[in-house]
Amino acid sequence: MSTPHKVAIITSGGDSPGMNGAIRAIVRTAIYHGLEVIGFKYGYQGILDANYVEMNARSVSGILQRGGTILGTSRCKAFLQESGRKQAAANLDELGIDVLFVIGGNGSMRGAHELLKVWDGQVIGLPGTIDNDCGGTDFTIGYFTALDTALESIDKIRDTAEAFDRVFLVEVMGRKAGDIALGVGITGGAEEMLLPERPCDLDQVVERMVLSKERGKGSYIIVVAEGAYDGGAPRLAEELEKRTGYACRPVVLGHIQRGGSPVAMDRWFATRMGAFAVKAALQGANGVMVGIEKNELVTNPLEKTWQENKSFDPFIFEIQPMLSI
């Protein structure tokens, strides 16, 4: 494989805090190694529309602390079709792109994998999603900021829960992955954490709520991943109030979890991954996503990002009942 001369970057799917840090690291590391860099606007759609900006060291100044993504993002239906991917490949070739860096979640990595079937260039992914649901990496860019955002909300909700002696159900993002719910549940001292990976036993939840209240506990916080219960926190609150008679109030945090300035850990991971992605490209890597496993930078096949089922530390579930009494 020949040495790359020109690279491109996209951010795709849901935005996550720290994406800008990854963009900055890729741009400046690539320029240091003498590469030209462009950024496509709005993800895969930008490739199809040939909507791009040339990037230099100054174009990424002052973005490390900014949330969102300076390149914009979208979900591109046309790219789901082979005809769309072939058009994208043709546009990349016309622009002389040798390497495409894709920053996004496992859906974006699937798109990158499919692109390689019709394009002869190099594709390297970086895991940018607050859900932390990509295989091949212990943590994704944006996860820690989402945790801190949700944690701040739960700390405030706890004050009201104690003042009114109420049950609050806080819904966080995670249709298929419970990492945010688990992380914020433990760090926020929640009494319950309901995750998509662990089916909800409503009878047991009710039993624990009643026992806790009988022991004199005032506030009761249940963190609910959006995919853990059909109808989410609002529907679950209705059901629990009907069964227990306790005042149950749902709070849906929604897209607020995606926003905000990235915390130090996300800036740290984004910068390391971005620079490492360029190094991997220069060494000829292709069809891989960079990640961090046991604090070591690694590359794994793109397929691993959606095929690997990440497991939770069983010790967390062992100690949870002890911490919530």
Strands 52-55 and 36-40: antiparallel
User: What is the C-alpha to C-alpha distance for residues 217 and 108, in angstroms, rounded to an integer?
Assistant: 45
What's the CA dihedral at 320, 127, 66, 27 to 10 degrees?
Answer: 150
User: What is the C-alpha to C-alpha distance for residues 10 and 194, in angstroms, rounded to an integer?
Assistant: 34
Task: Note if 230 is an active site residue.
Answer: no
Which of 98, 145, 126, 146 has its CA nearest to residue 13? Answer: 126
Options 131, 133, 179, 266, the catalytic residue: 131
- What does the DSSP 8-state code read for residue 210? H
User: What is the C-alpha to C-alpha distance for residues 300 and 294, in angstroms, rounded to an integer?
Assistant: 14
- Residue carrying structure tokens 């602390």: 65
Q: Where are the alpha helices (DSSP H) in the chain?
A: 19-32, 43-49, 82-94, 106-115, 143-164, 179-187, 202-214, 232-244, 264-282, 304-307, 314-323
Q: Could you tell me which residues are beta bridge partners of residue 125?
A: 102, 289
Give the residue numbers marked as catalytic. 131
